[in-house]
Chain A
Amino acid sequence: MKQLFFIIFLLVAVYTHAQKKKAPISITGSAGIGYEGYGLDKNPSGFPAYSQRRPWNQVRFSFMPTIKFSKNFSLPINFNFAAFPTNFAGPFSGIKNQNIGQYLTNPMNNFGLNPTYKWAEFQLGTQYLKYSDLSTGDIGIFGAGFVLKPGNYRVKFFTGNSQQGINYAPFPGPIGAYKRTHYMFSLGKEKENDYLVAFNFAKGQDKINSITSFPLLPTTPQEGFTLSMQVNKDFKKGFYIKTEGANSIYTTDLNAALNPLLKSFKPFIEARNSTTSDYAAQISLGKKSKNFDIGFGTKYIGAGFQVTGYPYLQPDRFEYTVNTRFNAMKNRTNVVASIGQRFNNVSGTTAPIAKQIIGSLNWFTQFNDKFSINASFNNFGFNTPGVLAPGGTSIKNVSTDLGVTPTYTWTNTTMSNTLSLGYNYSNYKETLIPFTPGPTVTQLNNTHTVLLSYIPVYFNRKISPDFSALYFYNDASLAKITFATLSAGLAVPALKEKLKLRGQLQYTLSTFNSFTPENNVVASCNVDYKINKKLTWTNFLSTNYYKYGNQLGNPFIGANYLESNLRTGLQYKFK
């Protein structure tokens, strides 16, 4: 890390000297430091129903200036890092003591520099690069590379590590991970708002020897190579088409024996017993305009298609959606709608094909200055015949949500008042039908939500209050849940608007089946103080008190906890 700071210092020093007689260096962006403290007091101490959900103490730093040395040369810096690791998902889970390599590549931290000279950009440190949807992935990689854009040509290259080797240790230690190295390259031609043609190549490989204590199965060292081709074209009158096709060759276990019968792509990847080669493609086309959009999108991801940069990609699916948006009645009506279908297990390697239908509609109409209505409808269905064998189960899920919210606003000389009453109905049904004789199991969920809110806006006062009341009732097969919430908020500027105060108080009474009610109070506030034009001191405090009824049984009847959260920080804006 010291080296990185030294490089920045050196760059700044050299260019400050070189540019002395020219235009002054300009710096934009921001920097900040923030502290977060968390407290959880449980009574009786140690009851298991509620756990810590934030780090006890954390300090976060950000340093994100863009230093412009001249018309042609700039240096964007993106340093965001935290003092303590808090990884709970992914390869760094459970890590406590990190070495410098693990700290630099921990997804919690960003150390990125992107010096740019005319059409050449160098990418150093942590970068989240997405050459395309089907090639490089979405995870951060620590390394070095460049993007060159001479004329309409595009040349991109980057290499680095998305994770260092992490030795396995028994729970609660790290699950262990192999060091993963990535290489990516792209060659293309692009004209903004006109066309793009690009070939993308991405390779990722786990280093088996990067650790001495190996993770347990199913974690295995992996390797993947992906080629993709993108063609995008924008036409006149807002029409567009975007396409990408990709082929991946992926080895899920580098310890498996080499297999010459399977497809290799030497020298980039050599097939093993655990290697698959499959395809993916996506197309979207449509038309965009100020008051009307329509689009069609489809995506296919083969069962064996994998990319090292997308660790959670779910393959073996085909999906399509049609979506539209339009404004009507002189923009007083706005409609957003989409409908689509997704087929899982296209390859037939799971059960028979599982189908999903997804549809949504949101309709807003402003009838006049006083009255508007918003209506929404969402639906999804999931259906799979399941495995046609003993123990197999066919599954049907249907979820439907319907919401209507009328809003009425009235105004006099001193204030305006907005009153809205929203109702939402949600129905969820899951049916499990066993292949062998046995009972069909149906879980039904009906949820009703009513929200009443009132927001006064004073023309001559600076306070901004708001009030709301909510009733939520969920009727499930074995559970009946009720929440009743009252909430009030207030925003107040002070000290000639240098100080901004916002507070919120919320009380919820909840019941579960026939157990006695439970009570919850959440109080939170923001206090932002503008020290000067560039420096702001921000604070957030929150307290959450929860008291159980008799649901937890003895000896936890009446158990309660007090959770508190404090965030304070200084934010400096360079310009």
Chain B
Amino acid sequence: MKHKILLALFSLFTLAVNAQLTTNLVVNARPSARLSDWSITKGTFTLIVSNISPQGNRRVKIKSVLKTADGTTVASTDLNKATIILIRDGNSIYDANTVFPLEIQQFEGSFQTMLNRTGKLSSGAYQLCVELVDPTTFAAITPTQCRSFFVAALQLPITMVPYDKQELDSRKAQTAITFRWTPLTPLPLGGVNYHIQVFEVLENQQDIQALRANQPLLDKNIFAVTQFIWQPQLGFINSDDDSTGFQKPRRFIWTIQALDASFKPIGNDANYEGRSESKIFIVNATSKQKGNNNGNKKD
């Protein structure tokens, strides 16, 4: 009985002391789907710790548990590897780099496999739960704070029309060429600008070289819409020789870049330019000389 009373008194004392240490967790409702981005992106997770304890500075570890919406644990901090943090008097602010350091998170089976392969989580709702723990006993010092967020990786637009290496009749193409692409998914709340560019592949150039080296003949931002009708205003006649720099027939490469509302690239994984795989179209002026008005190759 005596022990129980002492234990109760100790617990009350501990809570009274820890009550002087409070936490507030703020999360971005739609953080990057790529987990390694969390530590380098401001505002992904912010933990505010207020210390008004009479004990002064406190040494703690941060225990984070990442869960799915239904409560299944995705990952939790390996507390043995977690860094001890010194909480000073007043307010301290910690970002994702400290709250959820990826290299010391222990992922559960299938989530670890997913992380290894993709660096991401399956799209869906998640919650992050954070508490401060004693650095030696790992006993909770503060109540657990949980916040929900939603994760969905981006799928960049895919260039569709003209189809890859499609041959266009020069007599139609000289008036209008229609471009179509798939939308960026999921659509961002602020909307998306599609930056369409068309480059001419000059003589002796590789296709990708033209994209990275030439000045675009079409360079336009289009908000939300996934189609553009281009009036090229180009003479598509050909030379027999090469020194004018035109290919025979004329060859073009086009691409779509996804930009956010402030015209910054919406990068995706290694593709930080947010640029979709380019496609080629060919304006077939030679068909004119053959008397063949077919837009597709038949020979």
Contact of A276 among B119, B242, B273, B294 (CB under 8 A): B119
B272 to A219, Cβ gap below 8 A? Answer: yes
- Residues of B in contact with A (beta carbons under 8 Å apart): 33-37, 39-41, 101-103, 107, 112, 114-123, 125, 150, 152-156, 158, 160-161, 163, 169, 171-172, 174-176, 178, 180, 182-183, 185-187, 189, 197, 199, 202-209, 211-219, 225-227, 229, 231, 233-246, 255, 257, 265, 267, 269-273, 275-278, 288-289, 291-298
A380 to B161, Cβ gap below 8 A? Answer: yes
Interface residues of A in 50-107 (CB under 8 A from B): 51-55, 60, 62, 64, 78, 80, 85-92, 106-107
Residues of B within 8 Å of A409, CB to CB, are: 291
B233 to A257, Cβ gap below 8 A? Answer: no
Contact of B160 among A252, A380, A386, A420 (CB under 8 A): A380
B289 to A464, Cβ gap below 8 A? Answer: yes
Interface string of A336-355 (1 = CB under 8 A from B): 10000010110111111010
A53 to B33, Cβ gap below 8 A? Answer: no
The 5 lowest CB-CB distance pairs between A and B, nearest first, are A524-B235, A569-B243, A218-B267, A274-B36, A108-B213
B240 to A274, Cβ gap below 8 A? Answer: no
A80 to B204, Cβ gap below 8 A? Answer: yes
Most buried by A among B154, B156, B270: B270
A350 to B255, Cβ gap below 8 A? Answer: no
| Given contacts A312-B273, A399-B180, A430 and B117 within 8 Å (CB-CB) | no
User: From A366, which residue of chain B is reached at the shortest CB distance?
Assistant: B298
| Given contacts A302-B117, A314-B156, A405-B294, A139 and B208 within 8 Å (CB-CB) | yes
| Given contacts A349-B121, A350-B123, A489-B288, A311 and B244 within 8 Å (CB-CB) | no
Contact of A472 among B114, B155, B175, B276 (CB under 8 A): B175
**A283 to B189 Cα, complex, angstroms:** 39
A-B contact pairs, 8 of them (CB 8 A): A80-B204, A107-B209, A224-B270, A257-B102, A312-B273, A432-B187, A540-B246, A568-B244
**A418 to B189 Cα, complex, angstroms:** 54
A538 to B216, Cβ gap below 8 A? Answer: no
Place the interface of chain A in its size category. Answer: 35 or more
B186 to A356, Cβ gap below 8 A? Answer: no
User: From A361, which residue of chain B is reached at the shortest CB distance?
Assistant: B296
**A176 to B297 Cα, complex, angstroms:** 41
Contact of A252 among B119, B185, B211 (CB under 8 A): B119
**A563 to B234 Cα, complex, angstroms:** 10
Residues of B within 8 Å of A224, CB to CB, are: 270
A11 part of interface (Cβ distance < 8 Å): no
A528 part of interface (Cβ distance < 8 Å): yes
Residues of B within 8 Å of A356, CB to CB, are: 158, 182
B174 to A485, Cβ gap below 8 A? Answer: yes
**A540 to B243 Cα, complex, angstroms:** 10
User: From A259, which residue of chain B is reached at the shortest CB distance?
Assistant: B103
User: From A108, which residue of chain B is reached at the shortest CB distance?
Assistant: B213
Residues of B within 8 Å of A233, CB to CB, are: none
Residues of A within 8 Å of B120, CB to CB, are: 303, 347, 349
Residues of B within 8 Å of A55, CB to CB, are: 215
